[in-house]
Structure 1
Amino acid sequence: MRIRLRTRAVRRGLRRALPACLALALLTPVYACRVELTPPDAPTSWPAESARRWQWQWQLSGVLDPTVEAEVFLLDPVTTTAAQTAELRSRDRRLVCHVHVGSFLPTDPDAGRLPSAVRGAPARRAQSRWLDVRQWDTLRPVLADRFRLCRGKGFGAVAFADADGYTHRSGFPLDFDDQLLFNRRLAELARTLDLSPGLINDVPQVAALAPDFDFAVNEECVRLRQCAKLLPFVEAGKPVFHVEYAASTTDFCVETIGYGFSSIRKQPHLDAWRQTCPPPDSP
Structure 2
Amino acid sequence: MRIGPRTRALGRGPRGILARCAVLALLTAVGACRVALAPPGAPTTWPVESAGRWQWQWQLSGVLDPTVDADVFLLDPVATTAAETAELRSRDRRLVCLVHVGSVAPADPDASRFPTAVRGAPAPRPQSRWLDVRQWDALRPVLADRFRLCRGKGFGAVALADADGYARRSGFPLGFDDQLLFNRRLAELARSLDLSPGLVNAVPQVAALAPDFDFAVNEECVRLGLCAKLLPFVEAGKPVFHVEYTGATTDFCVTTVGYGFSSIRKERRLDAWRIPCPTAHATG
> Is the pair's TM-score, using the shorter chain for normalization, greater than 0.5?
yes
Q: Which amino acid in structure 1 is aligned with residue 212 of structure 2?
A: D
**Alignment-derived partner of residue 55 in structure 2:** 55
Distance 1:33-1:228 versus aligned 2 partners, 3 A rule: farther
Structure 1 ranges of 4+ moved more than 2 A: 30-34
Distance 1:32-1:252 versus aligned 2 partners, 3 A rule: farther
**Alignment-derived partner of residue 208 in structure 1:** 208
Mapped contact 1:33–1:50 kept (Cα < 8 A): no
Shift of 1:31: 10
CA RMSD of aligned residues (A): 1.6
Shift of 1:282: 2.9
Superposition map of 1:83-162 within 5 A: 83-162=83-162
Structure 2: distance between partners of 1:130 and 1:36: 38
Mapped contact 2:119–2:129 kept (Cα < 8 A): yes
Mapped contact 2:156–2:195 kept (Cα < 8 A): yes
How many equivalent pairs are there? 259
SS at match of 1:199: strand
Distance 1:31-1:262 versus aligned 2 partners, 3 A rule: farther
Shift of 1:34: 2.7
**Alignment-derived partner of residue 227 in structure 2:** 227
Shift of 1:33: 3.7
Q: Which amino acid in structure 1 is aligned with residue 227 of structure 2?
A: C
Mapped contact 2:53–2:281 kept (Cα < 8 A): no
SS at match of 2:158: strand
Shift of 1:279: 1.7
Q: Which amino acid in structure 2 is aligned with residue 44 of structure 1?
A: T
Structure 2: distance between partners of 1:269 and 1:128: 17
**Alignment-derived partner of residue 182 in structure 2:** 182
SS at match of 2:230: helix
Structure 2: distance between partners of 1:248 and 1:34: 31
Unaligned runs of 5+ in 2: 5-29
SS at match of 1:211: coil
1:42 correspondence with 2:65: no
1:71 correspondence with 2:107: no
Structure 2: distance between partners of 1:236 and 1:272: 30
Mapped contact 1:231–1:259 kept (Cα < 8 A): yes
Q: Which amino acid in structure 1 is aligned with residue 166 of structure 2?
A: Y
TM-score (norm 2): 0.89
Unaligned runs of 5+ in 1: 1-5, 12-29
Structure 2: distance between partners of 1:153 and 1:188: 20
